[in-house]
Amino acid sequence: MNKFIINQVQTHSSNMPDAAGTDKFMVVVAVIAILFIGIVGYMVSLDLKLKKLEKK
Amino acid sequence: MIKWWKIAGIILVLYALIGGLLMPVPQLPILMQSIRNLYYHVPMWFGMLGLLIASAVYAVRTLMKKDLLEDVKSESFARVGMLYGCIGLVTGMIWAKNTWGDFWTNDPKLNSAAIGMLMYAAYFVLRSSIEDPEKKARISAVYNLFCLPVYIVLIYILPRLTASLHPGNGGNPGFNSYDLDSRLRMVFYPAVTGWLLMGFWIADLQIRVKKLILAKENED
């Protein structure tokens, strides 16, 4: 049963197009990078605000 | 000024996010391009383990010092650990769909992870059910110290004793033995370190907010 599933998935996987390096893929990378930078920016601003409050 | 380890965390995770998608990976059967999820799924579990260990350390300190601040630290690390666990589950489910054909298989590691997560969910339920802060700190610290070893047994030991689809479990070779070649290591190790540092940063922010709230309450 497991062998059957593995064979099915292997066939399916080998037919999948390789998206890496295409324009759409680069858009995905850019969106992820922007989202991460946004989250980090929020964390840095929160960190600095907390530092100010702690000094008070 | 932001501390050096926080900046290191940002750089390492950014490198892992971008490098993980763009750097070349070995073309392994079944896994194919989905091997890139190694950089996102596995560091979540490593990070979660690190955060839960930190939570248990502060649970011990809570019992030793009887200090509420140690309890706040213990809770914050557990909270971020669970956040990592949830992200680890979601990334794992997506990976499972693409390699095993289903979001959730009857795999011992998946079921153990779910049980372990529910155990920690019970930790938060327990905390919210006790009003007296000192009693809450003591009881939840004891429960936390009970949770961690059981969680480690459930996730890292039990799946190795039975048949499992997961690499490194149930007779399957782990990524270390032949799959994790140097190209994967170049991103994988920075990803693990980076996400761990980011987790400690998130917990640190939470702790500092709660510290300020506690100080304000004491003033009032």
Tell me the ipTM for this assembly. 0.81
Which residues of chain B have a pLDDT value below 50? 178
Q: What is the largest CA-CA distance in chain B?
A: 64
Contact B47, B84 (CB under 8 A): yes
**Model's pTM, two decimal places?**
0.85
- Structure tokens given for B19: 């490098």
What mean pLDDT, rounded, does chain B reach?
A: 88
CB B133 within 8 A of CB B68: yes
Q: How far is CA B117 from CA B78, B164, B170, in A?
A: 11, 19, 21
Q: Return the half-sphere exposure (C-beta side, CA atoms, 13 A cut-off) of residue B143.
A: 18
Residues B181/B183/B188/B191 CA torsion (nearest 10 deg): 170
Of A9, A32, A50, the CB nearest to B100: A9
Cβ–Cβ < 8 Å for A40, B10: yes
Is B125 within 8 Å of chain A by CB? no
Q: Looking at beta carbons, which residues of chain B come within 8 Å of A13?
A: 29-32, 34, 98-99
pLDDT category at A14 given cuts 50, 70, 90 is very low
Place of tokens 């763009």: B22
pLDDT for the residue B121: 94
Q: Is residue A4 predicted with pLDDT exceeding 70?
A: no
Reported as a single tens digit per residue, the pLDDT across A15-55 is: 445 566 678 888 988 999 999 999 999 999 999 999 999 98
Is A13 close to B202, i.e. CB distance below 8 A? no
A43 contact residues in B (CB cutoff 8 A)? 201-202, 205
Quick one: pLDDT at residue B169?
62
For residue range B59-114, list pLDDT tens digits in order. Answer: 999 999 988 899 999 999 999 999 999 999 999 999 888 888 889 888 888 889 99
Q: Tell whether B34 lies on the interface with A, counting CB pairs under 8 A.
A: yes
What pLDDT, on the 0 to 100 scale, is given for residue B157? 84
Name A13's Cβ contacts closer than 8 Å, sequence gap at least 6.
Answer: B29, B30, B31, B32, B34, B98, B99
Q: Which residues, 6 or more positions from B194, have their beta carbon under 8 angstroms from its beta carbon?
A: B8, B9, B10, B11, B12, B13, B14, B15, B16, B43
pLDDT for the residue numbered B47: 94
